[in-house]
């Protein structure tokens, strides 16, 4: 044993000596004696904890995550439950999952802006203050830049009040103030590389409207639960309608049934296209079109104490670029169209956004673009005066093995 030990020690010593003999100084090349450049170790920036976010949020979401978290996952119904364990679908799901980071980043921006909105919105604030606070939060969280439509707001922040259900945001000079008795729909979207998060919620302060808000919220989650691959759109609408119409609300001693607003609906989302080819009804409408694997949907539900039907009303603030191509004579209209193309592409915008970019005296040019079919005007949509409306909305993705409510995480599920 001692002899073997001595031999092993001798071999180790010889190897060590050989290594020492051929050792090359760190800063000298073994070929021509030139100094090597020392490699600098790049320090990875430490990710912040979500609790370190400011109010209003100003720290970009990229400082918190590199890979953004999944939303809330839900299994499909009994007919499609096999997808959960099917290996082929699971593999397709893994592939799709890798491509959802932009969408989840947009969702994180929406979550943080919404979380802040819930804290600061209160009676006495001007509606323009509310919208601009939310919009500026989104811009900060995304580090969005002017003349770059690849990330930012997918459409203007809506703050429709009472009987107005959608598409209202203040124009310049509108000093409307939020009141204690108002029912306000906050609807805004975020996007990265055209991947859109479309989500909305309703703010109210008077408990009189609790049942209206509860009816619409529960109907929205029913729609999400019913949605799935190969599900007919009319079946989703029927389920939403059944829940909605089971509620009523008492206002000033009079009882009103809560009605779905039958000419408003959810929709599927495509890249840089907020309303694509499919509409998700909130009533039974006989549309047997089916939802398909891989599609993105905004499950959007509106309820009303009025007629349950909306019409164009009030001054228009929302606009969206069409894909039409028309020769324009007006130099001002051409210039305005160039601004719209550079900053919004096919994303919706409002007059305040044009003001912010320095456009002036543009109303005639904007109307010219509308008349020529290059831009579509989207005026406020209102039920009868004296009625109250509420809205909730979430974006979902129909993944091969499950559906994901992209915008939901546990600590933001307040609404």
% helix, strand, coil for the chain, step of 5: 35, 25, 40
The answer to whether 224 and 405 are in contact (CB under 8 A) is yes
Q: Report d(CA 147, CA 325) in Å as an integer.
A: 21
Q: Residue 282 is inside which H or E element, if any?
A: none
Contact residues for 379 (Cβ-Cβ < 8 A; gap 6+)? 167, 312, 313, 314, 315, 316, 318
The answer to whether 399 and 97 are in contact (CB under 8 A) is yes
What single-letter DSSP state applies at residue 22?
H
Q: Which of 282, 279, 296 is nearest to 239 (CA)?
A: 282
Q: Report d(CA 112, CA 178) in Å as an integer.
A: 22
Among residues 275, 287, 359, 376, which one is catalytic? 275
Annotation marks residue 267 as catalytic: yes
The answer to whether 174 and 135 are in contact (CB under 8 A) is no
- Identify any residues that bridge with 248 across adjacent strands, giving them in sequence order: 257
Annotation marks residue 198 as catalytic: yes
Q: Which of 403, 239, 378 is nearest to 318 (CA)?
A: 378
Among residues 135, 187, 295, 383, which one is catalytic? 187
Annotation marks residue 393 as catalytic: yes
Among residues 108, 198, 218, 235, which one is catalytic? 198
In the three-class reduction of DSSP (H, G, I as helix; E, B as strand; rest coil), residue 401 is classed as coil
Among residues 110, 195, 267, 296, which one is catalytic? 267
Among residues 93, 182, 383, 393, which one is catalytic? 393
Annotation marks residue 187 as catalytic: yes
Q: Residue 395 is inside which H or E element, if any?
A: strand 389-398
- Which DSSP string corresponds to 368-387? HHHHTTSEEEE--EE-STT-
Among residues 93, 300, 383, 404, which one is catalytic? 300
> Which sequence positions are flagged as catalytic?
187, 198, 267, 275, 300, 393
């Amino acid at each position: 044993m001692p002899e073997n030990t001595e031999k092993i020690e001798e071999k180790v010593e010889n190897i060590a000596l050989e290594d020492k003999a051929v050792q090359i100084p760190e800063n000298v090349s073994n070929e021509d004696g030139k100094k090597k450049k020392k490699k600098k170790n790049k320090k990875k920036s430490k990710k912040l904890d979500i609790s370190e976010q400011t109010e209003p949020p100003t720290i970009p979401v990229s400082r918190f995550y590199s890979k953004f978290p999944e939303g809330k996952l839900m299994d499909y119904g009994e007919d499609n439950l096999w997808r959960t364990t099917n290996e082929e679908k699971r593999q397709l799901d893994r592939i799709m999952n890798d491509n959802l980071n932009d969408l989840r980043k947009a969702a994180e921006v929406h979550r943080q802006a919404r979380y802040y909105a819930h804290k600061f919105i209160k009676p006495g604030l001007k509606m323009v203050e509310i919208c601009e606070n939310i919009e500026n939060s989104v811009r900060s969280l995304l580090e969005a830049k002017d003349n770059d439509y690849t990330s930012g707001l997918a459409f203007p922040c809506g703050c429709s009040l009472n009987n107005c259900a959608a598409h209202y945001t203040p124009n310049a000079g509108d000093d409307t103030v939020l009141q204690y008795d108002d029912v306000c729909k906050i609807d805004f979207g975020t996007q990265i590389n055209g991947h859109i998060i479309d989500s909305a919620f309703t703010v109210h302060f008077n408990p009189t409207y609790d049942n209206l808000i509860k009816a619409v919220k529960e109907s929205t989650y029913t729609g999400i639960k019913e949605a799935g691959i190969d599900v007919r759109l009319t079946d989703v609408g029927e389920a939403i309608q059944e829940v909605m119409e089971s509620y009523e609300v008492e206002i000033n001693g009079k009882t009103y049934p809560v009605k779905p607003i039958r000419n408003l609906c959810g929709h599927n989302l495509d890249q840089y296209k907020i309303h694509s080819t499919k509409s998700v009804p909130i009533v039974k409408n006989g549309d047997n079109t089916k939802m398909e694997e891989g599609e993105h949907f905004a499950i959007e539900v509106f309820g009303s104490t009025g007629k349950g039907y909306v019409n164009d009303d009030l001054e228009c603030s929302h606009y969206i670029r069409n894909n039409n191509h028309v020769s324009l004579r007006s130099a001002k209209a051409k210039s305005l169209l160039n601004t719209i193309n550079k900053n919004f592409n096919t994303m919706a915008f409002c007059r305040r956004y044009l003001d912010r970019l320095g456009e002036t005296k543009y109303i005639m040019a904007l109307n010219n673009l509308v008349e020529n079919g290059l831009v579509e005007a989207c005026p406020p949509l209102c039920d009868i005066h004296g009625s109250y409306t509420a809205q909730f909305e979430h974006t979902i993705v129909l993944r091969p093995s499950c559906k994901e409510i992209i915008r939901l995480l546990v600590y933001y599920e307040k609404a």
